[in-house]
Structure 1
Amino acid sequence: MPNPRYAAYEPADPYFNLVHGALGGLVDGDHFFDILADDVIYEVRYDVPGWPRVIQGRSGLMAAFRGYVDNIALQSADKLIAHKTDDGRVVVIEYEVHGTILATAVKYDNRFCSIVKIEDRKITHWRDYMDSLAAWNALTAQAR
């Protein structure tokens, strides 16, 4: 049964489920937010208005994702490729997400590569790369 604490984040479930599937055997927790260390550092290597380059702590990341799900609803996440290194302490995941920009109903399709560091069965550091042009095009497109 889904945790009601995370019900507001349901529009990002395809992403959360993909990550959990990629890392599930290496981390403890049932939901994306449960597999994060309290002091996780989530770093993005791109600029998107309203999204910080570095987010510190699980609560900070939850706040940032609240803004995400208020603006984008994902329908799916796929094309997962996982590269495990350092006995599973570092995992590189490549994947795609597909959704809709809520304000405009414009389709959102993007590709990501994330480098995930795991300690004591929790994610302690996340470095994210994405197709910035795809995000820009979707976020600045006119309403349909």
Structure 2
Amino acid sequence: MPNPRYAAYEPAAPYFDLVRGVLGSFVDGEHFFDTMADDVVYEVLYDVPGWPRVIQGRTGLMAAFRGYVDNIALRSADRLIVHKTDDGHVVVLEYEIHGTILATGVTYNNRFCSILRIENRKIAHWRDYMDSLAAWNALTTQPR
């Protein structure tokens, strides 16, 4: 049974499930947020209005994702490529997400590359790269 604490984040479930599934036995925690260290640093190397470049801590990450799921609903996450290095302490994920911008109904597709550092069976640092133009186009396109 899903944890009711995370019910509001259901629109991002395909992404959360993809990440949690690939990390398997490298991290502890049932849900995506449970795999994060309390003091995780989640760094994004792109500019999207309303999304911070650096998010400090699990609580901050949950707050940021609350804004995300209020605006985007994902249908799927796929095309996963995983690179495990350093005995699983560093994991590089390449993947795509597919969804809808809720305010306009515009389709949203994007590609990501995320570099994760794992310490004490939790994600301590997350560095994210994405196709900024795909995000910009989806967020600024008017409904058809």
Normalising by the smaller structure, the TM-score range is: over 0.9
Whichever residue aligns with residue 140 of structure 1, its letter is T
Aligned match of 2:49? 49
Name the SS for the 1:30 alignment partner. Answer: coil
| Aligned-residue RMSD, C-alpha | 0.4
Name the SS for the 1:58 alignment partner. Answer: helix
Deviation at 1:10, TM superposition (A): 0.2
Deviation per CA, 1:52-95, whole angstroms, max 9, x where unpaired? 00000000000000000000000000001100000000000000
Name the SS for the 1:62 alignment partner. Answer: helix
- Report matched runs for 1:54-65 at 5 Å: 54-65=54-65
Identity level (%): 81
Aligned residues: 144
Unaligned ranges ≥5, structure 2: none
Unaligned ranges ≥5, structure 1: none
Q: In the aligned structure 1, how far is the partner of 2:24 from the partner of 2:56?
A: 22
Deviation per CA, 1:12-37, whole angstroms, max 9, x where unpaired? 00000000011122000100000000
TM-score w.r.t. the length of structure 2 is: 0.99
Write out the 4+ residue segments of structure 1 that deviate beyond 6 Å after TM superposition. none
Aligned match of 1:134? 134
